[in-house]
Amino acid sequence: MSKSSSFDEMWGHETVLRDPYVPINEWLQQEDAGRLRRKARDAEDLFRLTGITFNVYGARDAAERLIPFDIVPRVIAGREWDRLSRGIEQRVRAINAFLHDIYHRQEIIRAGRVPIEAIERNAAFLPQMIGVDPPGGVYTHIVGTDLVRTGEDEFYVLEDNARTPSGVSYMLENRETMLHMFPELFMKTRVRPVSSYPAMLHRSLCACAPNSSNGRPVVGVMTPGSYNSAYYEHSFLADKMGVELVEGQDLRVVDGRVAMRTTQGYQPIDVLYRRVDDDWIDPLNFNPDSALGVPGIMDVYRAGRITLANAPGTGIADDKAIYSYMPEIVEFYTGEKALLKNVPTWRCAEPEALSYVLDNLSELVVKEVHGSGGYGMLIGPTASKKELSAFRDKLKARPGNYIAQPTLSLSTVPIFTRAGLAPRHVDLRPFVLVSPEGVSITPGGLTRVALKKGSLVVNSSQGGGTKDTWVLEQ
C-alpha cells in the first residue's frame, strides 16, 4: 500500500505497523486478492438485496443509490476509544446544559461567553421553546458527534449533529455484513459489539417518556415519508425497536394527547423519535404549509404530555457558528477544559475574520453555517480560480452565512481497490444516547471514507462510502 503524507491509522507516519492493525494486516497478508474482490462484490449484492440505500435530492440519475461499502475495517484501540468516549460524554452533557440555559435564564449570555446576537439572530433558535421543560430534562436524546483524526493522539470534533443525526443503520448493517462475509476475523479479534444499539435506543427513549405514560410508554418513529433521503434508516430503526413507523397523517391530537391511527382506532403515543425537521412538525405553530406534521403537537409537547426526540430547537447547538464557541460552552457548564478539541474557526460575520478569510481563501475550508451533507462548501486547496472568485463574492454578500476553518490533514485508512490497498481519508460519527439514566455511547460508530484519491469529502451524497468500525476490547 502506498503511503500518504497524512497520518495513516494502519502505518502511522512511518512504515511501522500500528498495534491495533496487527490482526488485520495478518488477515490481508493471508488472503487471496481474487477472493477479496469476490467478497467485495458479494457485499455490494448483499446491500442491494437488503435495500441499504440513500436518496440524492436533485440527482439526474436514479434518485435511490447504494451506499458504497469497503471491506477493510477501520480499527481503533480500546484505550483510544475510552479516551474519546470521555470527551464525547463531556461535550454532550455541556450541549444539553447549554440548550436548557438558552431557553431559560441565558446565563451564558449574561456572563459574556456567547454573544446574544449568535442566539437571537440564529434561524435555528426557536422562541417557541423558551421556558419549555422537556420530559426528563433531555434535549438531545440522540447525538452524532463527527470526529476527525490528524495524528497518533490528535482528534478534533468537526461537527455536533444534535438535530436528527443519521447513519446509525449503516453502522449496524456494516457490522452485520462483515460478520456474514468474514466470520473468521471476529474469532481471531476481540471487537466490541454494536448490535445492542436498537435495544439501547428503545430503552433510552422510554426513560425519557412523560409522566402521562404511566410507566408503559408507547414509542414511535416519525418519518417525512419514503422520499426522504434517510427513509431506509427510519424504517430500519422502527423495525429493529419493534415500534410503529408513522407519518404526520397517521397522527392527531385527541383529548390533549398525541394519538396514532391503528386498526383499533386512535391510540395515545408517548415518545416520538422524530425525523422531521422543526419547521415541518406542526403547521399551527411553525410552517402553515406543512403536510408532514401534526397540527397542535407543539401544544401537547409544551404541556409535557409527549416526548419529541430530539427536542425542537436543538439545531442551535449544532449550528456551525455556535460550534466555534464550544470550548467556552464546555468550560462554562462543566467547569473543565474541553477534552476534545475544536477545529480553529473564523466567524465570517466578524470583520477581522472575514478579512483574513478573503485573503487566505485558497488555503481554507469554508462552510455554510446551516449547511450539511457536504453541500454549499468550498475546499480552497482543490478549488479552481473561478470557484474561488465566485465564493469570494458569496462571502462579501452574506458573510454571516459562513465560517472558515484550516484544511486539516485528515487521517487515512486502507481501502480495497482493484489495484490493491490504498489510503483514503476518513471521519467518524459515534452515536450517543442521552436519558435521565445517563449517557450511552456505542463503541465505534459510522466511519465515512472518501473513495476518491486525495479527496477530503466523505459524504455519501458527494461520492463517499462507509466501512465497519472496530473498537478493540483492549
Domain boundaries, the chain: 19-343+408-471, 344-407
Query: Is the pTM of the predicted complex or chain greater than 0.85?
Result: yes
Say what the pLDDT of residue 295 is: 97
- Cα 347 to Cα 97, 193, 326: the distances in Å are 23, 40, 13
Coil, strand, or helix at residue 92? helix
C-alpha grid cell, residue 247: 407519518
Q: 211 — phi, psi (to 5°)?
A: -60, -25
d(CA 362, CA 407): 10
Check: CB of residue 159 under 8 Å from CB of residue 136: no
| DSSP-assigned letter for residue 128 | G
C-alpha grid cell, residue 206: 422510554
Domain 344-407 coded CATH 3.30.1490.270:
yes
d(CA 435, CA 96): 11
d(CA 167, CA 204): 18
Say what the pLDDT of residue 121 is: 84
Check: CB of residue 91 under 8 Å from CB of residue 157: yes
First to last CA, the chain: 26
- E strands, 229-270, are 244-246, 251-254, 257-262, 265-268
User: Count of H helices and E strands in the chain?
Assistant: 14, 23
Count of residues for the chain? 474
Strand order across the 307-309 sheet:
244-246, 219-222, 271-274, 307-309
Say what the pLDDT of residue 1 is: 42
Check: CB of residue 328 under 8 Å from CB of residue 337: no
- Residue 102, amino acid: I
d(CA 353, CA 349): 8
What are the beta bridge partners of residue 159? Answer: 146
Q: Cell numbers 466567524 label which residue?
A: 347
Digit-by-digit pLDDT tens for the chain (474 residues) are 444 478 999 998 777 899 999 999 999 999 888 899 999 889 888 887 776 665 554 544 445 667 889 999 999 999 999 999 999 999 999 999 999 999 999 999 999 999 999 998 888 999 999 999 999 999 999 999 999 999 999 999 999 999 989 999 999 999 999 999 999 999 989 999 999 999 999 999 999 999 888 878 999 999 999 888 889 999 999 999 999 999 999 999 999 999 999 999 999 999 999 999 999 999 999 999 999 999 999 999 999 999 999 999 999 998 888 999 999 999 999 999 999 999 999 999 999 999 999 999 999 999 988 766 556 789 899 899 999 999 999 999 999 889 999 989 899 999 998 888 999 999 999 999 999 999 999 999 999 999 888 888 787 666 789 999 999 997
Phi-psi region of 403 (alpha: psi -120 to 50; beta: other; left: phi over 0): beta
**From the CB of residue 26, how many other CB atoms can be counted at a distance below 10 Å?**
13
User: Using CB atoms within 10 A of its CB, is residue 319 exposed (0-12), middle (13-18) or buried (19+)?
Assistant: buried
Coil, strand, or helix at residue 404? strand
- Beta-sheet pairing, 257-262 with 251-254: antiparallel
**From the CB of residue 134, how many other CB atoms can be counted at a distance below 10 Å?**
27
- Alpha carbon of residue 3 to chain centroid: 29
d(CA 155, CA 320): 18
Say what the pLDDT of residue 64 is: 62
- Residue 385, amino acid: K
Coil, strand, or helix at residue 211? helix
- Alpha carbon of residue 157 to chain centroid: 11
Q: Element (H or E) spanning 403, and its range?
A: strand 402-406
- Beta-sheet pairing, 244-246 with 219-222: parallel
Q: 336 — phi, psi (to 5°)?
A: -125, 155
- Beta-sheet pairing, 412-417 with 420-429: antiparallel
